[in-house]
Amino acid sequence: MLSHPFPWRIHAESSYQHHIALRDFSQGEVFTWAQLADEIRRTAETLTAQGVTAQSGVALCGKNGFPLLCCYLAALQLNARVLGLNPAFSDEKRTALCRRNGIRLMIDFTRPQPVFSEVKDVDFAEFDSVDHALFSACTMTLTSGSTGAPKAVLHSMRNHLENARGVCELMDFSRDSSWLLSLPLYHVSGQGIVWRWLLQGAELQLPGEDFYRSLTQASHASLVPTQAQRLLQYLADCPSNEMKSAVKIRHILLGGSHIPEKISENLTALGIQAYVGYGMTEMASTVFAKKCDGKAGVGRPLRGREFRLENDEIRLRGAGLGLGYWLNGKLVSLTNSDGWLQTKDKGGWDGENLQVLGRLDNMFISGGENIQPEEIERILQRHEQVEQVFVLPIDDAEFGQRPVAMVKFKTRFSESAVKNLHVFLADKLEKFKRPVRYFPLDTTISQQSGIKPSRIQLKQKLNEILGMK
């Protein structure tokens, strides 16, 4: 009987030990499960030499790559807690997050060689007396929620693996499949890819310099809409005979924001099955998902998940639900007194599909009318020249608040492009919901925020443009 719970070691000690576990397109290297387990063991020895022990806090900061992935798995093998940090964060913010979450060692992968730094002035006494649940935690994943103040959600390996099982079943992801690590490990969606790979003992692929070339070589991928649009453009630019012979991608899970129907239609036309999903950091990634079928909604809850609607709010529990938030030196429950996670997402149920209608805390009132920004965004996103759009409120003396839009066009932002949107919306939205002004979307905000831009940061940028503090 195995004396450890680590999937990579289980695969390395099985009859599949010589099967390919990982393919790194950036370095042109291939690892079997046995070879990968050796690399993780050596990395664990390096971390041990740096003072990492069981329940030590280790922060990893950088873009996806083999060294970072090995550190992620090696730290877990040492029973340490792993916190992922967005490399776009400032040094000051990284240090503050480490102190707040009891991180002893920060590893910076943004340099040519990893830099190990001990975090100073951390009070570890509070971690020594914490609830026993912390000792089954393996990851700490930051989520900003509605307040914008990052807080860490703690998950165990069991939480991650339970979440992975339902996605693998829906998307036919098996030992013979491969999944591209197309999303960052500091985000729960990136970790979701890793745990599906580990659950099935399949093949993980790390992208090379040509991301979209790498993307065509995996059987499965997770993409946000912008990535999916760029993949379609990449395939359109390929000679047809080359495209037919080289493309292996067959399943794509779409998430992160509203999915334009045209994207799934174009993928289907190429023989690629698209899926739409809805998930939460607190639930270890995807909760609902379905094959794209031209109908609105995100389907039914996957294996082991439950939901309910209360006062239009989506509430969740079941497979993947984390251990708690780490706040002010304490482990705080994710659920209310009835055991449900209150998502603050507005939803509806049509008998077959969950409709995710937007954040309850994004809604604002204009002239006595409720406005849900996501409703306007979904319609604007249907315009062929719109790549990304966010609707925000601005104060108005007469109406209280009015909607404005921050837009990234596929071509440059211009007055004529904005006029086209005014015409487009004329017969699609009530007048009071139509944006009264349009501004260019600052794409650097999405780089700082991760997979989807923070509305708080977008509002701050809007205030700067308007000359407000």
- The verdict on 369 and 269 lying in the same domain is no
Residue 440 placed within a domain: yes
Rg (the chain; Cα; Å): 23
pLDDT tens digits, residue range 221-270? 999 888 898 999 999 888 766 665 678 999 999 986 677 788 899 999 99
According to the model, what pLDDT value does residue 64 have?
Answer: 96
- The verdict on 183 and 330 lying in the same domain is yes
Report how many helices (DSSP H) and strands (DSSP E) the chain contains, helices first.
Answer: 15, 26
> For residue 117, what is the domain's CATH number?
3.40.50.980
Show which of 84, 112, 129 is a domain's final residue. 129
Residue 149 placed within a domain: no
Specify the amino acid at residue 400.
Answer: G
- The verdict on 378 and 351 lying in the same domain is no
Show which of 318, 338, 360 is a domain's final residue. 360
Output the CA torsion sign for 456, 459, 463, 465: positive
- The verdict on 23 and 68 lying in the same domain is yes
Residue 2 placed within a domain: no
- The verdict on 123 and 200 lying in the same domain is no
- The verdict on 353 and 368 lying in the same domain is no
Return the structure tokens found at 208. Answer: 């090379």
> For residue 434, what is the domain's CATH number?
3.30.300.30
According to the model, what pLDDT value does residue 123 have?
Answer: 63
- The verdict on 275 and 166 lying in the same domain is yes
> For residue 329, what is the domain's CATH number?
3.40.50.12780
- The verdict on 111 and 175 lying in the same domain is no
User: pTM of the full predicted structure?
Assistant: 0.87
- The verdict on 381 and 332 lying in the same domain is no
According to the model, what pLDDT value does residue 451 have?
Answer: 66
- The verdict on 294 and 370 lying in the same domain is no
Residue 140 placed within a domain: no
Residue 117 placed within a domain: yes
Residue 443 placed within a domain: yes
According to the model, what pLDDT value does residue 450 have?
Answer: 57
pLDDT tens digits, residue range 256-278? 667 778 889 999 999 999 999 99
- The verdict on 177 and 219 lying in the same domain is yes
Low-confidence ranges of the chain (pLDDT < 70): 1-4, 123-135, 144-149, 240-245, 256-257, 445-451, 468-469
41 CB neighbour count, 10 Å cutoff: 15
Residue 267 placed within a domain: yes
Output the CA torsion sign for 436, 441, 442, 448: positive
Residue 1 placed within a domain: no
238 CB neighbour count, 10 Å cutoff: 15
Question: CB within 8 A of 255, min separation 6: which ones?
Answer: 189, 222, 224, 276, 277, 278, 279, 286
Alpha-helical runs (H) found in 50-187: 66-77, 91-100, 125-128, 157-170
- The vertex-204 CA angle with 202 and 209, nearest 5°, equals 160
Among candidates 296, 290, 243, which has minimal Cα distance to 271? 243
Tally the domains of the chain. 3
Which structural domain, as residue segments, surrounds residue 332? 158-360
- The verdict on 418 and 308 lying in the same domain is no
Show which of 360, 387, 412 is a domain's final residue. 360
